[in-house]
């Protein structure tokens, strides 16, 4: 069974496009990255998945349950971290965590204490006195304390310092090993590349590519960087060409032999051929709007 | 019950402040009654000769030299306006505050149905309004005992009962409006309560505006009518309760069905 199954999901805010015809499948136990810049439709997709928004078209299922008709059953199995965190005024961290547990009719005290210790979160502090990072930690504990089968985290690391980010991803990896499915929305590509096995990229409300992170980063395209002087005009499959005196750099998806022949007639002092990282793929899609 | 308990905790300070303020004002009024009673003949004449304003406050039909008359006019106005403002504020903010304070995302991503949210929030404000009225009634009765006056049970219960119904009506209407609001709402609640109060004053001034009593809940809380007739005006109250029910139904429809 898939943890998330989205079919042709569309959401408009009046006449303004939110997302259009989104199709996405996240298998159970996967760690899935959802990549896109601000305004691309990541949060709209997530909010529609969680039943916070009514879709205009299509449908979504979580563990085979319809996200609209079976909203409560779905939410009982999901832990959600919103990108912007707000709590009720006058409450302490422990009160917020207890309220969240009570709303789920669960006793999560042991797990919440353990998580607060790991994230160095003082449970006695009032939420309005907390820094942005500590409010985020409170929301993380809320999302994790009931040990959900699916974790949907929207921009989870904003506000967390690097040490806390490391601890946070350590916790996520442990949960993933225990069988939980991770769905992380982010525009920080390195964290998706490091922590997810699969990913989808969203742009202007539509999915532009998806697959395993390894595939997306590879895609048969190489980053070729040459110190020296080479005429690349005869090569096909060259993209993102940057040529300066003494240095040529480009993405190459053409024939390997043709590349070697071209290099052999040029003045090459040194050269490297590397896999592009996810960031390069991402920027290529967003800046050039092209295909790799 | 989790949301109900949570709302009661969240609304605790406002409840205590409003209840204490209204009860204190009522108690002050009751405590000054013995001193004023002796001068009431002269004061009564002044009050009875203010033309339209005498009618507006119902003082043409009531002797404020007696405890029931004094209580219905002086204390009735405090309880009426104070209670109306509290009930309206409680009703108007209870649903809309989730959007305004951006806590809706927290609440609505827990496995609770929207119907349960509306029901428990409604129960919370109903409990607050009921508790406030009981506390105020108890303190008023205690104050009457302390000044050595006999308690005019029927008149006091009629006045308090009518104002309780008024608060339920305004609470129900505001609760309905609350489901449609996404931003600041206090102004609408306060405005509605004050508007209803003044509509009743206008209705008392002229026969041409008598129909306004069907609109404003203050129409069935008229101290003069309550004391003189000895009964609640069931016609006005039926219309009021119908409006409250429409408000509550609208809240369920908007929040739980057509969100």
Mind listing the pLDDT tens digit for each residue in A8-39? Answer: 999 999 889 999 999 999 999 999 999 988 88
Write the residue in B6, B105, B108 that is nearest to A99 by C-beta. B6
Q: Does pLDDT of A131 surpass 50?
A: yes
B112 touches chain A (CB under 8 A): yes
B113 touches chain A (CB under 8 A): yes
SS3 state at A208: strand
Judging contacts by C-beta atoms under 8 Å, the chain B residues touching residue A72 are: 111-113
Structure tokens at B211: 């129909």
CB contacts < 8 Å between A and B, how many? 56
Smallest Cα distance from B118 to chain A, Å: 14
SS3 state at A255: coil
Check residue A189 and give its pLDDT.
Answer: 77
Asked whether B178 and B192 are in contact (CB, 8 A), the reply is: no
Q: Name B183's Cβ contacts closer than 8 Å, sequence gap at least 6.
A: B96, B99, B100
Query: What band does B182 get if pLDDT is binned at 50, 70 and 90?
Result: confident
Check residue B57 and give its pLDDT.
Answer: 63
Q: Does pLDDT of A162 surpass 60?
A: yes
- Mean pLDDT for chain A? 89
Which H or E element spans position A154?
strand A150-154
Percent of the residues in chain B that have a pLDDT greater than 90, as a whole number: 57
Query: What band does A208 get if pLDDT is binned at 50, 70 and 90?
Result: confident
Q: Does pLDDT of A52 surpass 80?
A: yes
Contact between A84 and B10 using a beta-carbon 8 Å cutoff: no
pTM metric for this prediction? 0.85
pLDDT tens column, B96-146: 999 888 999 999 999 999 999 999 999 999 999 999 999 999 999 999 999
pLDDT tens column, A256-269: 899 999 989 888 99
Per-residue exposure over B157-179, b if at least 16 CB sit within 10 Å of its own CB, e if not: ebbbbbbbbbbbbbbbbbbbbbb
Which residues make beta-bridge pairs with A7? A59
Q: Does pLDDT of A68 surpass 50?
A: yes
Smallest Cα distance from B160 to chain A, Å: 33
Those of residues 68-107 in B touching chain A at CB distance below 8 A are 101-107
Query: What band does B186 get if pLDDT is binned at 50, 70 and 90?
Result: confident
Judging contacts by C-beta atoms under 8 Å, the chain B residues touching residue A82 are: 105-106, 109
Judging contacts by C-beta atoms under 8 Å, the chain A residues touching residue B110 are: 75, 100, 103-104
B257: nearest CA in chain A?
A54
Give the separation between CA B140 and CA A167, rounded to whole angstroms. 60
Query: What band does A292 get if pLDDT is binned at 50, 70 and 90?
Result: very low
Asked whether A281 and A216 are in contact (CB, 8 A), the reply is: yes
Smallest Cα distance from B182 to chain A, Å: 15
B115: nearest CA in chain A?
A72
Write the residue in A72, A86, A90 that is nearest to B111 by C-beta. A72
Smallest Cα distance from A100 to chain B, Å: 7
A104 touches chain B (CB under 8 A): yes
Check residue B228 and give its pLDDT.
Answer: 81
- Mean pLDDT for chain B? 89
Contact between B106 and A87 using a beta-carbon 8 Å cutoff: yes
Give the separation between CA B189 and CA A185, rounded to whole angstroms. 40
Tell me the CA distances in angstroms from B7 to A59, A76, B2, B117, B192, one per residue in order: 34, 22, 9, 11, 23
Comparison of pLDDT for B36 and B99, the residue scoring more: B99
Contact between B112 and A51 using a beta-carbon 8 Å cutoff: no
Judging contacts by C-beta atoms under 8 Å, the chain A residues touching residue B107 are: 103
Q: Does pLDDT of B253 surpass 90?
A: yes
Tell me the CA distances in angstroms from B250 to A248, B89, B94, B177, B245, one per residue in order: 68, 18, 14, 8, 8
Write the residue in A51, A76, A88 that is nearest to B103 by C-beta. A88
Judging contacts by C-beta atoms under 8 Å, the chain B residues touching residue A52 are: 104-105, 108-109
Smallest Cα distance from B94 to chain A, Å: 13
Check residue B60 and give its pLDDT.
Answer: 66
pLDDT tens column, B196-221: 988 888 888 877 888 888 889 988 88
Write the residue in B3, B10, B110 that is nearest to A75 by C-beta. B110
> For residue A279, which of A205, A164, A186 has the smallest C-alpha distance?
A186
Check residue A135 and give its pLDDT.
Answer: 94
Give the separation between CA B170 and CA A139, rounded to whole angstroms. 36
SS3 state at A90: coil
Judging contacts by C-beta atoms under 8 Å, the chain A residues touching residue B104 are: 52
A264 touches chain B (CB under 8 A): no
B258 touches chain A (CB under 8 A): no
Write the residue in B10, B103, B110 that is nearest to A103 by C-beta. B110
Section A211-239 average pLDDT: 83
Contact between A86 and B6 using a beta-carbon 8 Å cutoff: no
Check residue B4 and give its pLDDT.
Answer: 97
Q: What is the ipTM of this complex?
A: 0.85
Give the separation between CA B78 and CA A96, rounded to whole angstroms. 37
> For residue A285, which of A231, A228, A211, A207 has the smallest C-alpha distance?
A207
């Amino acid at each position: 069974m898939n943890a998330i199954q989205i079919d042709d999901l569309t959401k408009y805010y009046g006449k303004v496009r939110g997302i259009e015809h989104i199709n996405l499948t996240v298998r159970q136990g996967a760690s899935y990255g959802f990549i896109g810049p601000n305004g691309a439709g990541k949060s709209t997709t997530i909010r529609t998945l969680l039943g916070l928004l009514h879709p205009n078209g299509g449908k979504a299922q979580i563990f085979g349950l319809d996200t609209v008709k079976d909203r409560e059953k779905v939410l009982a199995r999901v832990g959600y971290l919103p990108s912007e965190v707000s709590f009720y005024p006058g409450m302490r961290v422990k009160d917020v965590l207890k309220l969240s547990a009570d709303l789920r009719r669960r006793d999560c005290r042991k797990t919440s204490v353990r998580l607060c210790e790991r994230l160095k979160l003082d449970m006695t502090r009032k939420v309005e006195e907390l820094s942005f990072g500590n409010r985020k930690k409170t929301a993380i504990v809320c999302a994790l304390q009931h040990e959900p089968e699916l974790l949907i985290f929207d921009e989870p690391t904003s506000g967390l310092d690097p040490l806390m980010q490391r601890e946070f991803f350590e916790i996520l990896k442990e949960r993933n090993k225990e069988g939980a499915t991770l769905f992380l929305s982010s525009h920080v590509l390195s964290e998706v590349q490091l922590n997810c096995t699969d990913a989808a990229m969203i742009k202007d409300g539509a999915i532009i590519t998806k697959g395993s992170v390894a595939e997306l980063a590879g895609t048969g395209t190489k980053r070729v960087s040459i110190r020296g002087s080479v005429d690349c005009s005869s090569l096909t499959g060259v993209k993102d060409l940057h040529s300066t005196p003494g240095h040529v750099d480009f993405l190459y998806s053409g024939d390997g032999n043709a590349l070697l022949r071209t290099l052999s007639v040029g003045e090459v002092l040194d050269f490297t051929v590397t896999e592009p990282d996810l960031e390069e793929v991402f920027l290529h899609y967003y800046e050039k709007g092209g295909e790799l | 019950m989790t949301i109900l308990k949570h709302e009661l905790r969240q609304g605790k300070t406002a409840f205590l402040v409003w209840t204490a303020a209204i009860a204190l004002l009522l108690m002050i009024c009751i405590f000054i009654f013995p001193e004023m009673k002796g001068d009431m003949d002269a004061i009564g004449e002044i009050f009875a000769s203010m033309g339209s304003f005498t009618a507006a406050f119902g003082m043409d039909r009531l002797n404020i030299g007696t405890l029931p008359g004094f209580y219905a006019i002086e204390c009735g106005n405090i309880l009426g306006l104070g209670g109306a403002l509290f009930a309206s504020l409680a009703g108007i903010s209870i649903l809309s505050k989730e959007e305004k304070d951006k806590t809706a995302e927290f609440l609505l991503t827990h496995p609770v149905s929207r119907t349960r949210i509306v029901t428990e929030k409604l129960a919370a404000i109903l409990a607050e309004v009921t508790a406030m009225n009981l506390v105020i009634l108890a303190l008023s009765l205690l104050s009457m005992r302390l000044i050595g006056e006999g308690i005019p049970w029927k008149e006091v219960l009629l006045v308090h009962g009518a104002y309780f119904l008024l608060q339920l009506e305004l609470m129900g209407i505001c609760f309905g409006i609350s489901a449609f609001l996404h931003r600041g709402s206090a102004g609408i609640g306060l405005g509605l309560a004050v508007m209803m109060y003044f509509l009743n004053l206008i209705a008392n001034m002229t026969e041409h505006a008598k129909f306004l009593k069907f609109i404003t809940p203050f129409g069935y809380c008229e101290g003069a009518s309550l004391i003189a007739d000895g009964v609640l005006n069931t016609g006005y109250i039926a219309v009021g309760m119908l409006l409250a029910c429409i408000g509550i139904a609208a809240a369920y429809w908007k929040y739980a069905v057509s969100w």
